[in-house]
Amino acid sequence: MPQARRPYRSTLREDQARATRRAIVGAARDLFVELGWSRTTIDAVAARAGVSRKTVFTAVGGKAALLKLALDWALVGDDEPIPMSERQVIADMEQLTDARELVARWAGFVAELEERAAPLAAVLVVAADADAEAADVHAVSERNRLGGAEFLVARLAAVKGLRSGLAAERAVAAALVLMDPAVHRTLVGEHGWSLAEYASWIERSAVAELLEPESPDARARVRSS
């Protein structure tokens, strides 16, 4: 019997396509941050990336698709096709059983994420008012941010660290504020806070709003250690 043919697969071609896509998305990201939504054009992206206008569309798509992919990559920190929910950082937080340790890890995660993504999130807010596709991207982004806040609150409840009497809805709302990209832009972008200062502020705010107050005995042990 004749042998079945293997499907043709060119690693070199795939690598080249991925490199082209990275160049296009990187160019779009930089232009969106530098020029904003309205002044960033497909032609400008093509010129910055060193490709044709047609290649931009075939490799990624239009402006909304470019902004979505740039934001997606900024959120996770790379272009691997692995959703945030399956990232190691989330798995690590799911294993933590100490509420304060969990909040500290979450605060650092949020600070690093917003350092990469906050400038693009600001562009998306403007784009959503001008473009229907961008509005859809913004809606998904907001749902994902809500999911991140709900994740923290659910984990705190699971480890019995959530403050007594604090309704889950109120806790989620507080976490949402701490995750707001506009907060990063205000503290870091406008007032020059360092990443460490920003993360520390998120942690202190989350502890104060979400967690049970430490007992005097626990505070004394911390001071004496």
* Residue 87 token pair: 């990232």
The pLDDT score that the predictor gives to residue 6 is 53
The pLDDT score that the predictor gives to residue 4 is 54
Q: What is the pLDDT of residues 81-108, one digit of tens each?
A: 999 999 999 999 999 999 999 999 999 9
Mean pLDDT of the chain: 93
The pLDDT score that the predictor gives to residue 225 is 43
Q: What is the pLDDT of residues 25-66, one digit of tens each?
A: 999 999 999 999 999 999 999 999 999 999 999 999 999 999
Give me the mean pLDDT over the 196-218 stretch.
89
Closest C-alpha among 143, 160, 153 to residue 174: 153
Rounded percentage of the chain residues whose pLDDT exceeds 90: 88
| Dihedral angle sign, alpha carbons of residues 131, 43, 39, 30 | positive
> How far is residue 117's CA from residue 125's CA, in Å, rounded to a whole number?
13
- Within 40-184, residue ranges assigned H as helices are 42-49, 53-59, 63-76, 88-95, 99-130, 132-158, 168-179, 181-184
Torsion of CA 191, 196, 202, 206, to 10 degrees: -150
Give me the mean pLDDT over the 64-78 stretch.
97
Q: What is the DSSP letter of 84?
A: G
Burial grade of 200 (CB within 10 A; 0-12, 13-18, 19 or more): middle
pTM of the predicted protein model: 0.88
pLDDT at 170 over 70: yes
Q: What are phi and psi of 211, to 5 degrees?
A: -100, 160
The pLDDT score that the predictor gives to residue 217 is 54
> How far is residue 11's CA from residue 32's CA, in Å, rounded to a whole number?
31
